[in-house]
Amino acid sequence: MGCGLTRRIKLEPSPIHFRLKSKELTITPGTFVKLSHDNKIKEYKEIKHLGSGSFSDVLLCEHIPTKTRRALKVVYKTSLNIYQTDKVCMLKEIQILRILDHPNIIKCFEVFEDERRYYVATEYCSGGDLFGEISQMPIFTEAKVASIVFQLLSALSYCHEKGVIHRDLKPENILVVDKANNLTIKVGDFGSSCIASSESRIKGCFGSSYYLAPEVFGPGYNEKCDIWSAGIIMYIILTGRPPYKGRDSNSIIKEILENPFQLNEENSVGLSDSAYNLLQLLLKLSPSDRITANEAIQHSWITHYRNYKGDSMKLALNSLKKFSNHSKLKEAVNIYLASQIRSYDEIKEIRKNFQMLDKDGNGKITKEELLEEYSKVMEFTQAQKVVDKIISNLDQNSDGNIDYTEFLASCGENLKRVSEENLIIAFRLFDIDGNGVITVDEIKSVLQNGQIVSNNDVWRDLLEEADSNGDGLIDLEEFIKFMRTVKF
C-alpha cells in the first residue's frame, strides 16, 4: 500500500480534557516546612523549570550527592483527586513507579514529601518529548516508527502484566533519551495511572482527547484503553494527521461518541500493508477484539524491523555467565550504583543487549530466552546448568526472570574499576545521617524499598560482611576496601 515513508507532519498539541493552571515553583530549601526523610530537598539544586501539569510542576535539578541531573516532579496535595490517591492518601503514581523496572519506562530514584507536596525524583530525558520530535522531523520511515512503537508496546506489555494501566498515553508523555539512529524513548507521567486486575473494570476519563479510547466514556474499561492510545500515536506518526477534525476537547469528544475513529483506505494512504494491518488490530472498536500489547509485539510489522544483531552480545552472555553473588551487600550496592549513578550513555550498549535477549519484548529475560542463546555456543545440558546458575545468582525478587536492573548489575563494569569518587558517592547514599559511618538501620532504609526485603538478622549479616573491625558500623575506609577486594 505504500513505500514506507510518512508524510510531512503538522501536528497541534493534543487538547487536554482537564487541566488546572499550576504555579511556577522555585526550590529554596528555607521556604519549605520540615521534610520527612531528613530534609531531602536540600540535596536538590534547581537548574530550570521544565513544565507544569494538571497538579504538578517539573523541575530540572542537580542531585548534589550523585552529581547527576534529575527531573523533580513537585505534586501539590490539594490538587489531587480520589483517583490519584489511595485509602491512606499515598500518591498512586509513587506506588506504581516503585514497581516498574523496564528500559523504556522512566526510572524513579526516590520519593519524599512535606505537608503540602510530594516530590518524585526521576531520570532526566534530555531529548524532550516525542511530540516535539515528531513536530520537528519532516519524515519518519516506517523502520523508525516501528522502533518507537515496539518500545512503547514493550513498556505496555510489562505494565499490563503487572496490572498497571497508564490511561494518559500521548506523545507529550513519551520522553526521548537518545536521538541517534532510531529514537530511544521512555514512557513517563503515571499520574493518571491505576492498578487493576485483569477481571476488573475501571472508571474515570483521563488524558488527552485525541488519544481517548471510545470505551472510557462507557460504564467501565480495562487495559485495552492503552492499546487504542498506542494505535492513535502510531497512526499520527505514520500519517502526520490527527484522528479527529476538532480543535478543542468538547468537539473531539463529541466526535468520539458519535463517530469514533476507524482506519480505512482513504485515511491511510501511503502505509504498507503490514503497518495497516497492525493499526487495524490496535484500533478495533470493541476492546475484546483489540490486540494485546504482547500480541502486538509479535506482529510481523514489528518483528520485521527489530534488530537482533550486535557484536557485544557475546560480552553480555559472558558477563552473565561469570556473575556470582558471593556478597549480597556488594551485589546490592552494585545494583544501587547501576540504577542511581550510571548515565544513559554508560549503559546504552547494556540496554541494547537486554532488549536483544528479551526476544518476546515483554521487558524481562526469561530462562527460556537465555537457554536459546547459550545453546548456540555450548551443549544443551551445559547451557541448562549455566542458565540455572545465572537465574539463581541474579533473580533477587524470585520471579524466575532477570529484570532490567538485575541485568545492569551483572553486565556493568567490574567493581574493581569503579572510581573511588563513585564509591564515596555510594557510601554517602547509605550514610543517611552523614555521621561518617553506616549502620544496620541505614542499610535497611536504603535497600528495603529496592532490591532486598528481609528480616533484621539479614540486615545485620549484610553489615557484618564489610565491618572488618567488628564495631557494628561500616566506615568509609572499610566500605572502599570491601568493595574493591570482595569478588563476585
Binding site membership for ATP: which residues? 73
Report the C-alpha dihedral over residues 482, 424, 28, 82, rounded to 10 degrees. Answer: -30
Give the chain's length.
488
For residue 196, count other CB atoms closer than 10 A to its CB: 16
Q: How far apart are CA 176 and CA 344, in angstroms?
A: 12
* 121: nearest Cα among 158, 93, 160, 101: 93
**Residue 168 is among the residues annotated as catalytic for this protein:** yes
Q: Which grid cell is 316?
A: 553480555
Question: Could you give the CA distance from residue 398 to residue 339 in angstroms, rounded to a whole number?
Answer: 19
> Which amino acid, 215?
E
Query: Of the candidates 191, 201, 190, which has an alpha carbon nearest to the alpha carbon of residue 223?
Result: 201
- Given 101, 168, 226, 431, which residue is catalytic? 168
**In three state form, how does the secondary structure of the chain look?**
CCCCECCCCCCCCCCECCCCCCCCCCCCHHHCCCCHHHHHHHHEEEEEEEEECCCEEEEEEEECCCCEEEEEEEEEHHHCCHHHECCCCCEHHHHHHHCCCCCCECCEEEEEECCCEEEEEEECCCCCEHHHHHHHCCCCEHHHHHHHHHHHHHHHHHHHHCCEECCCCCHHHEEEEECCCCCEEEECCCCCCEECCCCCCECCCCCEHHHCCHHHHCCCECCHHHHHHHHHHHHHHHHCCCCCCCCCHHHHHHHHHHCCCCCCCHHHCCCCHHHHHHHHHHCCCCCCCCCCHHHHHCCHHHHHHCCCCCCCHHHHHHHHHHCCCCCHHHHHHHHHHHHHCCCHHHHHHHHHHHHHHCCCCCCCECHHHHHHHHCCCCCHHHHHHHHHHHHHHHCCCCCCCECHHHHHHHHCCCHHHCCHHHHHHHHHHHCCCCCCEECHHHHHHHHCCCCCCCCHHHHHHHHHHHCCCCCCCEEHHHHHHHHHHCCC
What is the distance between the alpha carbons of residues 53 and 21, in angstroms, rounded to a whole number?
Answer: 8
Burial class (CB in 10 A: 0-12, 13-18, 19+), 10: exposed
Residues designated catalytic: 168
